[in-house]
């Protein structure tokens, strides 16, 4: 497979979309066998990282159609979150990195999102939302 790759990006070069590479499983609350099976394949570090990334997206008011990147990783007792918000054409981009305790992933996601909002992410995302509404109205 390696011979097919022409380049590999680091997170410093390209922050992936939130939740990239994570597999989510949903079960019925009353399905004991399924819940036990899912517990066996759960990776606590991945769950913690994705929880931080999802909190960031929620706080930004984003979704899968918004140009938001987030990459969280657990290192020991710390959780590191690197996030970016960009205009669609890439001419405007904001990036913020922060580390916190691994036991508070939602708080870390919210804090990083707030820092991005304070730096102007709302302007970037607001312009995109208005554009989407305008395109919807035209069709």
- pLDDT tens digits along 48-90: 999 999 999 999 998 888 999 999 999 999 999 999 999 989 8
**Count of other CB atoms within 10 angstroms of residue 77:** 8
pTM (2 d.p.): 0.87
**Is 3.30.160.40 the CATH classification of the domain at 44-138?**
yes
Between CA 87 and CA 53 the distance in angstroms is 19
pLDDT at 8 over 90: no
pLDDT at 6 over 90: no
Read off the pLDDT of each residue in 9-16 and give the average, rounded to a whole number: 92
């Amino acid at each position: 497979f390696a011979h097919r790759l022409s380049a590999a990006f680091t997170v410093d070069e390209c922050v992936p979309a939130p939740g990239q590479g994570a597999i989510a499983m949903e079960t019925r609350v009353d399905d004991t066998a399924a819940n036990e099976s899912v517990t066996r394949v759960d990776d606590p570090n991945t769950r913690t990282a994705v929880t931080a990334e999802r909190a960031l997206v929620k706080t930004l008011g984003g979704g899968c159609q918004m140009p938001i990147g987030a990459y969280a990783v657990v290192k020991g007792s710390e959780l590191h979150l690197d996030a970016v918000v960009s205009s669609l054409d890439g001419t405007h981009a904001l990036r913020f990195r922060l580390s916190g305790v691994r036991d508070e992933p939602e708080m870390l996601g919210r804090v990083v999102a707030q820092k991005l909002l304070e730096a102007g992410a709302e302007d970037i995302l607001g312009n995109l939302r208005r554009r989407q509404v305008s395109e919807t109205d035209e069709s």
